[in-house]
Amino acid sequence: MKVTIDSEKCQGHGRCFSLAPTLFDSDDLGQGVVIGDGTVPPDLEDAARLAEQNCPEYAITITE
Amino acid sequence: MSENTTPVSDFATDFDHTDPAWVKDPYPIWDELRERCPVAHTERYGGAWLPTRHADVSAIAHDTEHFTSRTVVMGNGRPGDDALPAPIGVAPPITSDPPFHAQARRLMQPAFAPKQIDLLEPFTRELCARLLDPFVGKDAIDAGEDYAEHIPTLVIAKMLGFPEEDEELFREFVHVILEGIDAPMEERIEAFAPIEEYFTARIEEHMANPQDDLTSYLLNAELGGQPLEPQHIFGTMVLLIVAGIDTTWSAIGSSIWHLAQHPEEVARLKADPALLPVAIEEFLRAYAPVTMARLVKEDVDFNGCPMKVDDWILLSFPSANRDPEFFEDADKVIIDRAVNRHAAFGLGIHRCLGSNLARMEMRVALEEFLARFDTFSLADPDAVTWSQGQVRGPRHLPIALG
């Protein structure tokens, strides 16, 4: 599983880095960014889905 | 509601967000409109539309081509030339449109990014302790007047480098700007003079003695190699005071109001503190304090509604958050709601700049409140009063302790 953030859609609501801080971080402007290359370890797949489901701007995509 | 206006007969064709029924309990009104309307209209305020469904609120919030933010507080009459033209508006970046908006916003974003906000947590926690400690062992507190109203006020004062002793003034300013919307225009202009005077004095002090605060930051900031226009600095400072105070004050108040009626949830949060951030998102969804306004930029047909240039749009994020088509059990407050794509901080490019600050203040305020009081309840449900206008929250909130 892999996560990506569409930076055009992200408005910095911060739900992703609050819900899954090992997968997402915030940049200096407070926008969401993916940590590393976005590969999700198996034990964090639920956290990744939760982040995707809580983004108000539908900016997160999960690819299996 | 002003003396000259008549009570609302039908919210679908004659809505007024200052009507006493709306101020007391707007949710049944929105629920009904969502079913049968779903975009209400009124001739009041010079003509305004009210989308109530999440899909419509989201569509308008994302459409900066047909809807301008050049004023975001609905006032009496069509603003016409009274409002500064796009793209800057009176209080950038909230009143700015693209492309200027992105520059004005980018300037402020670093100060409100999570890592900067984290630095304010110890101050906020001490402040909450200072406010609550005198009530430990007592049997009553007004969670609005003794607690919630002071927290964001004193935190934003610290950020701007304004004296704590002036906090009463800041709330007065916010009241003039947000709640005095139905006062005659001459009265509003007169009421605005002390605000201008106060901010000018703070700006002059900071010019003489720069500090490590947001006021000095704005005075030193540049856009395109040029210092900011004085009107831009003043407008942004007013925005920070207005947007930074009664919004979070309302959110903290509504959360305590809710918990005071649900002792089982208080017990659960005390047993499982990790649940609090999840519960806070649900309080934000269910009791979203902030409604924004837009103006129609050019005549447009919106889902069959003939919107005319300069018509107001009352953009109800709180109603979007209660839309059963978007949320399961939208009318229920579920403190462990796992999937919660709420719009309390807005949607689109104007997402609340201070959302990280608001969340930190809510969490610390509730943690400190829960840590001191084992059980608490509404002392008199009918004595709770709610603010009027586009920011909704309890103002007088008497709580019985123990």
* Residue pLDDT, tens place only, B126-177: 999 999 999 999 999 999 999 999 999 999 999 999 999 999 999 998 888 8
User: Do residues A2 and A9 make contact, with C-beta atoms less than 8 angstroms apart?
Assistant: no
Average of per-residue pLDDT across A3-23: 98
pLDDT at B19 over 60: yes
Segment 270-289 of chain B within 8 Å of chain A by CB: 277, 281
Backbone angles phi, psi at B129, to 5 degrees: -60, -45
Q: What is the pLDDT of residues B190-217, one digit of tens each?
A: 888 888 899 999 999 999 999 999 999 9
What three-state secondary structure class fits B41? strand
Average of per-residue pLDDT across B283-312: 96
User: Do residues B238 and B91 make contact, with C-beta atoms less than 8 angstroms apart?
Assistant: yes
> Which of B175, B388, B392, B376 shows the shortest CA–CA distance to B283?
B392
- DSSP element (H, E) containing B2: none
pLDDT at residue B178, rounded to an integer: 76
Distance CA B184, CA B76 (A): 8
Q: Is there a cis peptide before residue B99, judged by omega within 30 degrees of 0?
A: yes
**How close B93 comes to chain A (CA, Å)?**
14
Q: Please tell me the total number of residues recorded for chain B in this structure.
A: 402
Q: In chain B, which residue's Cα lies nearest the Cα of A49?
A: B339
pLDDT confidence tier of residue B1, bands split at 50, 70 and 90: very low
pLDDT at residue B2, rounded to an integer: 45
CB contact (8 A) between residue A56 and residue B347:
yes
Distance CA B297, CA B347 (A): 19
What mean pLDDT, rounded, does chain A reach? Answer: 97
Tokens read off for A62: 């999960």
Q: Which long-range contacts (CB under 8 A, 24 or more apart) does B263-268 make?
A: B263/B375, B263/B377, B265/B335, B266/B370, B266/B375, B266/B376, B268/B335
Average of per-residue pLDDT across B91-103: 93
Average of per-residue pLDDT across B57-82: 88
CB contact (8 A) between residue A50 and residue B355:
no
pLDDT confidence tier of residue B125, bands split at 50, 70 and 90: very high
Based on the number of CB atoms within 10 Å of its own CB, is B185 exposed (0-12), middle (13-18) or buried (19 or more)? exposed
Least confident of B113-127, B206-220, B235-249: B235-249
User: Do residues B46 and B76 make contact, with C-beta atoms less than 8 angstroms apart?
Assistant: yes
Interface test with B, best of A11, A25, A26, A60 (most B CBs within 10 A): A11
User: Do residues B25 and B32 make contact, with C-beta atoms less than 8 angstroms apart?
Assistant: no
Q: Confirm or reject contact between B55 and chain A (CB < 8 A).
A: no
Backbone angles phi, psi at B305, to 5 degrees: -95, 120
Within 10 angstroms of residue B338's Cβ, the number of other Cβ atoms is 13
Tokens read off for B192: 């605005």
Distance CA B284, CA A13 (A): 13
In this prediction the pTM is 0.96
CA atoms in the 13 A half-sphere facing the CB of A10: 23
Average of per-residue pLDDT across B7-27: 95
Contacts of B58 (CB under 8 A, 6+ apart): B320, B343, B347, B348
> CA–CA distance from A13 to each of B146, B202, B209, B210 (Å)?
30, 31, 35, 32
Q: What is the pLDDT of residues B358-371, one digit of tens each?
A: 999 999 999 999 99
Angle CA(B171)–CA(B157)–CA(B222) in degrees, nearest 5? Answer: 115
pLDDT confidence tier of residue B181, bands split at 50, 70 and 90: low
Average of per-residue pLDDT across B95-107: 94
CB contact (8 A) between residue B356 and residue A14:
yes
User: Do residues B64 and B98 make contact, with C-beta atoms less than 8 angstroms apart?
Assistant: yes
pLDDT at residue B4, rounded to an integer: 47
Distance CA B15, CA B156 (A): 34
CB contact (8 A) between residue B339 and residue A53:
yes
Residue type, B238: V
Share of chain B above pLDDT 90, in %: 82
pLDDT at residue B16, rounded to an integer: 96
pLDDT at residue B182, rounded to an integer: 65
pLDDT at residue B184, rounded to an integer: 72
Contacts of A13 in chain B (CB under 8 A): 345, 351, 355
pLDDT at residue B3, rounded to an integer: 42
Residue for token digits 């110890």? B122
Contacts of B113 in chain A (CB under 8 A): 26-30
> Which of A31, A5, A35 shows the shortest CA–CA distance to B102?
A31
User: Do residues B321 and B342 make contact, with C-beta atoms less than 8 angstroms apart?
Assistant: yes
pLDDT confidence tier of residue B88, bands split at 50, 70 and 90: confident
CB contact (8 A) between residue A28 and residue B113:
yes
CB contact (8 A) between residue A28 and residue B277:
no
Considering only the beta carbons, identify the residue of B113, B277, B342 that sits closest to A56: B342
Q: What is the pLDDT of residues B261-286, one digit of tens each?
A: 999 999 999 999 999 999 999 999 99
Contacts of A50 in chain B (CB under 8 A): 338-339
Average of per-residue pLDDT across B109-115: 97
Q: Confirm or reject contact between B370 and chain A (CB < 8 A).
A: no
CB contact (8 A) between residue A26 and residue B340:
no
Average of per-residue pLDDT across B314-340: 98
pLDDT confidence tier of residue B15, bands split at 50, 70 and 90: very high
Residue type, B224: G
Contacts of B238 (CB under 8 A, 6+ apart): B90, B91, B173, B177, B195, B199
Q: In chain B, which residue's Cα lies nearest the Cα of A16?
A: B341
